[in-house]
Amino acid sequence: MASTKEQPRGKILVVDDEEPVGRLLELWLAEEGYTVRRASSFEQACDWMGKESFDLVTLDIMMPVVDGLQSLRWFREYHPEVGVVMATALGEMDLVIEAMRLGAYSYMVKPFKLELVAHELARALERQRLVAENLSYQRELEQKVEEQTRQLRAAYVHLERQVKELEGRDQLVRCQSEGPTPQQACQVIMEVLYQVLGGEAAVLYESEGEGKGLVPIATLDEAGQVGTEGLAEDSREWVKKNALAVQVYSNRQGHHQPGQGTALPLLYQEEVLGVLWVRGLDGEAQQEERNLLWRLGQAAALVLWAARVKEQLDSGQLQVDELLKMQ
């Protein structure tokens, strides 16, 4: 026998219900420089596998309660990175063939010839090393693919959001150029908001005039339904419930308050035409949506301004020549 090696050659679990046989392998493998643990049953083998990691298992093919083939199936399912070498008697070759089909690396014939055992174990450990490297490479590759997929998905979501924003802003520009009525302006603004941001409830408030406060002129629910009728009747209640909108109207600056929503003033040449309030958009993950909302607000303000101009022209409050003089 060779002398004990300075560096362990590998870690082996010897599983054999025959005490003399298992003990012989344990001592001999230790002298050969392997780190060795021994189990006399499948249950003890499971216990060792739960506590430590192994490169190789020598598994007796004939054991009581849970035999070698059943044990092998368990090792292949739960520890595919561990190599298995079967220990068998000469009359059990049919079982050995089945074991090889199930994934055993090799086999050792009892009574053991230690030189042959040494050869089989060295070959099995080399195969186990290659299998372990391959599994490691596969896991690394899967992680890279998963990360790239995650990055591609995030890039796609970002691109999709940008496309929706451009489409929404184009829709608002078209609405502005067509000279919408106030109701048409509200309808388009809220529809674009739903298309771009999804199912967040929102309220569009209009300024009653300098110093007169706000009245709700349109609502949006989670299903994308826009409401523009009957809001003025409960305008005080609407405004009372939304202190954030009132605050934004007063200080002319957009603001996000966790738990209370996001509100921004719709400004045209320093005049607050209205306030747009959106529920939710909380957390750092939705900062991009809040930034998107600010940008939509600029286009929405122009739509409200166009609706006001049309209304004033239709009512005679504004003449065409006066409109042409406006900057």
pLDDT digits (tens, 9 = 90+) for 36-92: 999 999 999 999 999 999 999 999 998 889 999 999 999 999 998 899 999 988 777
Domain end call among 71, 106, 138: 138
Confidence at residue 8, expressed as pLDDT on a 0 to 100 scale: 59
Are 102 and 236 in a shared domain?
no
- Flag whether 170 is in a domain: no
The pLDDT confidence band at residue 319, using thresholds 50, 70 and 90, is: low
Range of 104's domain? 11-138
Instruction: Calculate the average pLDDT of the chain.
Output: 84
Number of neighbouring beta carbons within 10 Å of residue 265: 23
Confidence at residue 2, expressed as pLDDT on a 0 to 100 scale: 44
- Flag whether 1 is in a domain: no
Cα separation, 312 vs 166, whole angstroms: 30
Structure tokens at 220: 């949006």
CATH number at residue 282: 3.30.450.40
**Do 234 and 228 meet the contact criterion of CB atoms below 8 Å apart?**
no
Cα separation, 71 vs 226, whole angstroms: 65
**pLDDT, tens only, 142-166:** 899 999 988 888 888 888 888 888 9
Are 102 and 202 in a shared domain?
no
Confidence at residue 322, expressed as pLDDT on a 0 to 100 scale: 60
Percent of the chain clearing pLDDT 70 (strictly above): 89
Are 76 and 197 in a shared domain?
no
Rounded to the nearest 5 degrees, what angle is found at the Cα of 296, between the Cα atoms of 293 and 298? 115
Are 183 and 317 in a shared domain?
yes
- Flag whether 261 is in a domain: yes
- Flag whether 162 is in a domain: no
**pLDDT, tens only, 251-286:** 888 888 888 888 899 988 888 888 999 887 877 767
- Flag whether 128 is in a domain: yes
CATH number at residue 128: 3.40.50.2300
Cα separation, 215 vs 10, whole angstroms: 79
Q: How many domains does the chain have?
A: 2
Instruction: Find all residues with CB under 8 Å of 193, minimum gap 6, and list them.
Output: 168, 202, 220, 276, 278, 296
- Flag whether 172 is in a domain: no
